[in-house]
Amino acid sequence: MILNINNKNYEIDVDPDIPLLWVLRDILGLTGTKFGCGIGVCRSCTVLIDGNAEQSCLIPVRLIGSKKIITIEGLSEDGSHPLQKAWVEIGVSQCGYCQAGQIMTAEGLLRKKPNPGIEDINEAMSSNICRCGTYNKIRDAIILASKG
Ligand code: FES
Ligand code: FES
Q: Identify whether residues 122 and 69 lie together within a single domain.
A: no
3-state secondary structure the chain: CEEEECCEEEECCCCCCCEHHHHHHHHCCCCCCCCCCCCCCCCCCEEEECCEEEECCCCEHHHCCCCEEECHHHCCCCCCCHHHHHHHHHCCCCCCCCHHHHHHHHHHHHHHCCCCCHHHHHHHHCCCCCCCCCHHHHHHHHHHHHCC
148 confidence band (pLDDT: 50, 70, 90): confident
Ligand 2 atom index nearest CA of 96: 1
| For ligand 2, atom 4: residue with the closest CA | 130
Q: Identify whether residues 70 and 94 lie together within a single domain.
A: no
Query: What percent of the chain shows pLDDT beyond 70?
Result: 100
> 37-57 pLDDT, tens per residue?
999 999 999 999 999 999 999
Domain range enclosing 91: 82-146
Q: Identify whether residues 68 and 87 lie together within a single domain.
A: no
Given 74, 107, 125, the domain boundary residue is 74
Looking up residue 125, the CATH number of its domain turns out to be 1.10.150.120
Domain count of the chain? 2
Q: Identify whether residues 6 and 47 lie together within a single domain.
A: yes
110 lines ligand 1 (CB under 6 A): no
Looking up residue 70, the CATH number of its domain turns out to be 3.10.20.30
